[in-house]
Amino acid sequence: MTHDQPAPPPDRTREFVTPEGVDLRLTVGEAGARAAAFLIDVAIIAGLLVALTLVVLGAAWASRLQSLEMMGVIWILGAFVLRNFYFIGFELQPGAATPGKRAMGLRVIARDGGRLTADAVFARNALRELEIFLPATFLFARGSGVDGWLVLLGVLWSGGFLIFPLLNRDRLRLGDLAAGTLVIQAPKKVLRPDLSAEPLGRFGFTLAQLDAYGVKELHVLEDVLRLQDKRTLAAVSERIRKKIGWAEPLASTDAAFLSAYYAALRGRLETRMLFGHRRRDKFDRP
């Protein structure tokens, strides 16, 4: 046994089974990437706070300082909203990622494979206040009547929370543990070409077959086609053929069948949306 060979990198691939039974085998986000994403978001928040400060100061100056107290209240409210709802607002969006996470190719998902709920997003971000922002307040308050031991406690408190993701396999924050969430690596991938532009070939789907699924399943199918994993393609192809009652033998590849179904389903959903009908998922009545 030699000691010169470097240790193999840890396997960050995890099985992630969606409610549709699809294993997407996603990759857990690296601690460094998560830290960089957080710093980017903090920089954006700081920039917005500077802009808010300039606006408030300009308004106070225009009123000849007569509304200085009111402007101060507006600034405090604005800073509170930014600090507490910046992360929540972005992670409640379909991409489930702040600008910092998008820049680093990260997004938030539910660890149980289900839908990321608003409750989970609120929970994971509420704990960030205890993990980072509250201790940071004590650190920056040094010299303003705050005891040195309290500052030291804030440093130790923050340090413990900062290194916690390094001590578990899935790089989870305490907020992730409490909310049942996970941050994954979700790099942007260009479709082989645009899936919706691929020819349907010999496949001809009826409206009833296309109405078996909705927008949510379309997005899952797009992820499957992007991954191009043969085992996953075969499993999803079999599941869809069984769901829509496809009785003909599959003369081509599973990828070709799924690409054709994706294009047809997307066209069907877009046509229905033009007439004001948006089918969210397979449980939504067509």
Based on the fold, state whether residues 34 and 141 are members of the same structural domain: yes
Into how many domains does the chain fold? Answer: 2
Q: Would you say the C-alpha torsion 49, 51, 54, 57 has a positive or negative sign?
A: negative
Write down the number of H helices and E strands in the chain. Answer: 11, 4
N- to C-terminal Cα separation, the chain: 63
Based on the fold, state whether residues 165 and 203 are members of the same structural domain: no
pLDDT confidence of residue 17: 62
pLDDT confidence of residue 87: 92
Residue 8 within any structural domain of the chain: no
Task: Confirm if 185 and 27 have CB atoms less than 8 A apart.
Answer: yes
Question: How many CB atoms lie under 10 A from the CB of residue 194?
Answer: 9
Based on the fold, state whether residues 113 and 251 are members of the same structural domain: no
Domain range for 261 is: 195-274
Based on the fold, state whether residues 71 and 207 are members of the same structural domain: no
Task: Please report which helix (H) or strand (E) contains residue 184, including its range.
Answer: strand 181-185
Residue 282 within any structural domain of the chain: no
DSSP string, 61-103: HHTTTTTHHHHHHHHHHHHHHHHHHHHHHHHTSTT---HHHHH
Please state, in angstroms and rounded to a whole number, the distance separating the CA atoms of residues 81 and 270: 36
Based on the fold, state whether residues 119 and 241 are members of the same structural domain: no
Residue 80 within any structural domain of the chain: yes
Per-residue pLDDT reduced to its tens digit, 114-164: 678 889 999 998 888 777 776 666 666 555 555 666 666 766 766 677 777
Work out the angle at residue 63's Cα, subtended by the Cα atoms of residues 60 and 67, and round it to the nearest 5 degrees. Answer: 60
Please state, in angstroms and rounded to a whole number, the distance separating the CA atoms of residues 103 and 237: 33
Q: Are strands 106-110 and 181-185 parallel, antiparallel or unpaired?
A: antiparallel
Q: Which of 115, 150, 185 is the last residue of a domain?
A: 185
Please state, in angstroms and rounded to a whole number, the distance separating the CA atoms of residues 100 and 63: 37
Nearest to 264 by CA among 190, 193, 194, 196: 196
Strand partners, 13: 27
Instruction: Give 167's Cβ-side CA count (13 Å radius).
Output: 9
Based on the fold, state whether residues 85 and 129 are members of the same structural domain: yes
Q: Which two tokens stand for residue 285?
A: 């009545």
Question: For the whole prediction, is pTM greater than 0.85?
Answer: no
Phi, psi angle pair for 98, to nearest 5°: -75, 170
Based on the fold, state whether residues 30 and 163 are members of the same structural domain: yes
181-185, strands of its sheet edge to edge: 13-14, 26-28, 181-185, 106-110
Based on the fold, state whether residues 146 and 36 are members of the same structural domain: yes
Based on the fold, state whether residues 171 and 223 are members of the same structural domain: no
Residue 258 within any structural domain of the chain: yes
Q: Which of 159, 185, 211 is the last residue of a domain?
A: 185
Contacts of 168 (CB under 8 A, 6+ apart): none
Q: Which two tokens stand for residue 210?
A: 């296309």
The SS3 assignment for 183 reads strand
Based on the fold, state whether residues 238 and 201 are members of the same structural domain: yes
pLDDT confidence of residue 196: 46
Per-residue pLDDT reduced to its tens digit, 78-99: 888 888 789 999 998 877 889 9
Per-residue pLDDT reduced to its tens digit, 188-229: 554 444 444 444 446 778 888 888 888 778 888 888 888 778
Residue 120 within any structural domain of the chain: yes
Residue 1 within any structural domain of the chain: no
Residue 6 has pLDDT above 60, yes or no: no
Based on the fold, state whether residues 162 and 53 are members of the same structural domain: yes
Range 158-183 average pLDDT: 80
Strand partners, 110: 181
Based on the fold, state whether residues 231 and 207 are members of the same structural domain: yes
Residue 280 within any structural domain of the chain: no
Please state, in angstroms and rounded to a whole number, the distance separating the CA atoms of residues 278 and 272: 7
Q: Which of 155, 185, 215 is the last residue of a domain?
A: 185
